[in-house]
Amino acid sequence: MVTTDARNLARENLILLADLSIESEPGAHRIKVRNLSAGGMMGEGRVPVIRGHRILVNLPGAGEVSGTIAWVQQTRFGVSFDKEVDLSGIRSEAS
């Protein structure tokens, strides 16, 4: 997991479509990425995730990023990335 407090990293508010896979489950789920930082993201979608699930999310412009579900609230959830992500490619995809 990212060693810095991901909640203190600058967040980009955006709407971006991505595919999320839950470790040890087949298939991927299409989600909306609502905000994003180098250390994590908030996603939204009808995805059967619970806190602690290991996931892979395929972010346009960044590729596959691994992480852990940090929180879940109805159809929204937070992900803490294992390593910081370079957002420069994602910014160009979102514009």
The Cα–Cα gap between 58 and 62 comes to 7
Q: What is the mean pLDDT of residues 29-35?
A: 96
Q: What is the mean pLDDT of residues 17-38?
A: 95
Q: Which tens digit of pLDDT belongs to each residue from 48-93?
A: 999 999 999 999 989 999 999 999 999 999 999 999 998 888 865 5
Q: What is the fold, at CATH topology level, of the domain defined by 6-94?
A: Thrombin, subunit H (2.40.10)
Q: What is the mean pLDDT of residues 38-47?
A: 96
pTM for this prediction: 0.82
Beta-carbon contacts of 6 under 8 Å, excluding residues fewer than 6 positions away, are 37, 38, 39, 40, 80, 81
- Confirm if 31 and 17 have CB atoms less than 8 A apart: yes
Residue 14: per-residue pLDDT: 79
Residue 92: per-residue pLDDT: 54
Residue 43: per-residue pLDDT: 97
Structural domain boundaries in the chain: 6-94
